Amino acid sequence: MSRARSRRLLAAIASCTALTTAVLLSGCSSSGTADSSSSSSSSRGSFVSMVTPESTGEYYGAMYCGAKAAAAKAGIKLKVQGTPETTVDAEMQVVQSVLATNPGGLLLTVWDNEAFNQTLASYTDAGKPLIMPDSFLSNDKFLQSVRTDSYQSSYDAAVQALKDFRIDSGKVLIVTDSPGNALQSDRAKGFKDAVEKNSHLKVLKYQYVGGDAAKAAQAVTAATSANSDLKLVFSTNIGAGTGVASGLTSAGAHDAVHIGYDTSKAQVEALRSGAYDALIGQSPYQMGYQSMELMGQILSGDKKADSVGEKTVHTPWKLITADNVNDADSAKFLYNADCSAN
C-alpha cells in the first residue's frame, strides 16, 4: 500500500492526562521581561531566569510565550536565555552564568538528565525553586516537571500506526538521541515496546544521532540498504525527523511509514507533502505557562514549596496527520513562536 493511500487510513488520536489547566491559555509578551499592574506586591519585582537548548526554534519559542504570559500575570521579571544547539557543554556555560546572577527562581530544560545535577546542587540546596518544563533531573532536586508523557504518547502512536497502516511484517527503525536524554529514551522505548507487544515486526538497533539531521539521513540510508523490508521508522526529535524524511526520499523508500515527534512548521509542511505519515504534537506553550504559573505562586508565598504534591504534571499531546492537520483542535498542537498568535 502506498504512503499516499495508506495515510488516509490513519485516524487522529489524542491522549490527554490530568491537567492543571484544561484549555491552552493565551496571550504573551514579545519581550524578555514581563510585568503586570494587577499582580500581587509580594511577587512584583521577583527575578526569574529561564534556560533552554535550541532557543531559536518554534518549540522553545512557544514555550517562552507561555512562560512570558504567566510572568506578566504574576508581575515577575523573566529573563530568557538559551543555546542554538543541544550540547551539554554549550548549555552548561549558560546555566553557570545564569546561576552567578542568583535568580530568585529558575525554569530549566535540559537534554541530559544527569549532567546538570552537581551544577545545580548549591542552588537547590539553598532552597531556591527549580521548575523544569519538558525536563527533569535524575536526582529529583526540582519542584516539578511539566511535560508530555513521552513513553505513553509514543506507545499509543505505534499501536495506531500498526493498526491503520496494516503493518504486520518487516523491520522497524528508531532514530533518537543519546541515552543521556531520558525523555527521548522513553519515546524510543514506548514505541519499541508497542511494536514488540502488538506485532511480529523486528525492531532494529537504535540509531543515536542526537538532533543531527545529516547523521539521521545517513543512518536511514544505511538501514534501507541493509533491510529491504524496512516498513516503519520512528524519529524522536525534530532534527532526527528532518534527516529521516530526507534519507527515505533519497533511498526511494516511499512505502516506509514515518512517524515523527514534534510539529515544527517545516515538519508540518513535510507532513502535508508526504515525508511524514504522522507527527506527535506536544503542548510547549502550556508547559511554559504552567511552570511559570507555579513559580509565581511559590515566589508570592501563595504556595509553599513543600506543598507541591505532584512531581510530574503531564500536558496534552495529539497525533497529527494529513487528514486532521487543518482541524481547529489540532492548531494548538502546532508550534508557533509568535507570541501574539498564541
- Confidence (pLDDT) at 46: 63
Mean pLDDT computed over 74-92: 92
- 101: three-class secondary structure by DSSP: coil
CB distance 223 to 173 below 8 Å:
yes
- In whole angstroms, what is the distance from residue 160 CA to residue 14 CA? 11
Lowest mean pLDDT among 75-89, 95-109, 142-156: 75-89
Instruction: Count each helix (H run) and each strand (E run) in the chain, helices first.
Output: 10, 14
- Confidence (pLDDT) at 19: 35
* b (16+ CB within 10 A) / e for 194-217: bbeeebebebbebbbbbbbbebbb
Residue 177 — pLDDT band, cuts 50, 70, 90?
A: very high
- In whole angstroms, what is the distance from residue 212 CA to residue 143 CA? 32
Nearest to 323 by CA among 12, 36, 5, 57: 12
List, for residues 210-244, the tens digit of each pLDDT value: 989 999 999 999 999 999 999 999 999 999 999 99
Mean pLDDT computed over 195-204: 97
Mean pLDDT computed over 134-151: 97
Question: Three cell numbers at 76?
Answer: 515577575
DSSP-derived secondary structure for 110-147: -S-SSTTHHHHHHHHHTT--EEEET---TT--SSEEEE
Question: Three cell numbers at 305?
Answer: 514549596
- On average, the pLDDT of the chain sits at 87
Mean pLDDT computed over 119-138: 96
List, for residues 265-302, the tens digit of each pLDDT value: 999 999 999 999 999 999 999 999 999 999 999 999 99
List, for residues 21-35, the tens digit of each pLDDT value: 333 333 333 334 443
- Where would I find the beta strands (DSSP E) of 187-335? 202-203, 207-208, 230-235, 257-261, 278-281, 312-314, 317-320
CB distance 129 to 295 below 8 Å:
yes
Mean pLDDT computed over 66-94: 93
Per-residue DSSP letter, 301: T
% the chain with pLDDT above 90: 78
DSSP-derived secondary structure for 15-79: E----SSSS------SSS----TTS-TTTTT-EEEEEESSTTSHHHHHHHHHHHHHHHHHT-EEE
What is the H or E stretch that residue 154 is in? helix 150-164
Q: Look up the pTM and report it.
A: 0.84
Phi and psi at residue 200, in whole multiples of 5°?
-105, 15
